[in-house]
A = this chain, B = another copy of it.
Amino acid sequence: MTEAVCLADYESLAAEVLPAEVFDFVAGGSGAETTLRRNRTALDAVSVIPKVLAGVAEADPSTTLLGQSVAFPVAVAPMAYQQLVHPDGELGLAKAASGIPYVISMLSSHPLEEIAAAADIAWFQLYWLRDRGVVESLIDRAVAAGCSALMVTVDVPVMGRRLRDVRNSFVLPTGVIAANLVEGSTGRAHQAAGAVSAVAAHTASVFNPALGWDDLEWLAGRSSLPLVVKGILDPEDARRAVAIGAAGVVVSNHGGRQLDGSVASINALPAVVDAIGNDCQVLLDSGVRGATDILRALASGAAGVLLGRPLLWALAVDDAGTALVRLRDDLIDVLLLAGCADVAAAARLATSRES
């Protein structure tokens, strides 16, 4: 393949240009990668029943996420260390995300302020650090940088055991750092140590596994930004998040990178939407690879999706902007083909499970 004609094409293009262990770090899942694979088979099994004769000349993919206008119902998923795949790193991808939220990972390799400046809409993603002072300072910095939402990731009490990285003794290259953290704090992530993932070792040393609902409540009150809880699969948990004041929830299994054996996001979605769909926006990620997947998610009750790996692949070949423009175009077509004038119409489509 020489040129991408759809979002899914970037994976093999990126495989040609990236070092194998970097490709593996991005592509891989945890454990036996059961959940990684299931995310795809589960999405593929969701069939949509299109409507016809909608009588609209062009579908409008714009919508609002957390009350903010977006060009189409997609946000760039928070992904750490984007300079791993391209020198432009987060700055490149943030610029590419025209009209949609770019979620800055706490572990970005550029400082959050620079990324926020490059993005149309910036949200900030937070992991829970052992040092609460650092958490507070990061929130303050995100607010100051103009981020318009806070996303707290709750599915990483510890890092999932990603066996590809362990087999590769994966180590962050010097020069790729956690730019938002105090100098040197990623030291561990750069130290080779036998059959161990250095990134996982670093995570273990700085993340606080003991995050609880009280902490979340504290966080909800700590800033005026809308709070999105990322990594929820259980409807009860979704209800608790809403009770605490979450403005959004991301139904996610972290792209199959955390608990191997956890349910596919798309299969967990309907119950979560049933539980909290009237009270808060439900986003979905894990396995989305094109406009049809977005339609599947919308028709299953999601307000929008986060998109992860495909954008890193596109970034790696310097084509993220085109990739997102094409995705929006494809989504317009897909909406039209499903007889939907807009995103709200897509939510009313019927679905069925086929395999």
Contacts and interface: CB of A to CB of B under 8 A. Distances in A.
Interface of A: 3, 5-6, 8, 31-32, 34-35, 38, 41-42, 44, 46-58, 154-155, 157-158, 160-161, 163, 166-167, 195, 208-216, 229, 231-234, 236-237, 240, 258-264, 267-268, 289-293, 295-296, 330, 333-334, 336-339, 350, 352, 354-355
A332 to B, nearest CB: 8
Nearest to A289: B32
B47 A264 contact: yes
A292 B261 contact: yes
Contacts of A46: 261
A117 to B, nearest CB: 32
A295 B161 contact: no
A259 B295 CA distance: 10
Count of identical protomers in the assembly: 4
Given A31-B290, A52-B237, A54-B212, 20 more contacts: A5-B166, A5-B167, A6-B31, A6-B32, A6-B163, A31-B292, A32-B290, A34-B292, A38-B354, A48-B259, A48-B261, A49-B268, A55-B214, A158-B333, A158-B336, A160-B337, A161-B330, A259-B334, A262-B338, A264-B354
A212 to B, nearest CB: 3
B352 A161 contact: no
B166 A210 contact: no
23 contacts: A5-B166, A6-B31, A6-B161, A8-B32, A32-B289, A41-B354, A48-B261, A49-B233, A50-B259, A53-B213, A53-B240, A54-B212, A57-B208, A57-B209, A57-B210, A155-B337, A157-B339, A259-B292, A260-B292, A262-B337, A263-B354, A267-B352, A355-B355
Contacts of A167: 5
Contacts of A3: 195
Contacts of A44: 32, 34
A126 B54 CA distance: 17
B49 A154 contact: no
Contacts of A355: 41, 355
B161 A53 contact: no
A38 B47 contact: yes
B337 A154 contact: no
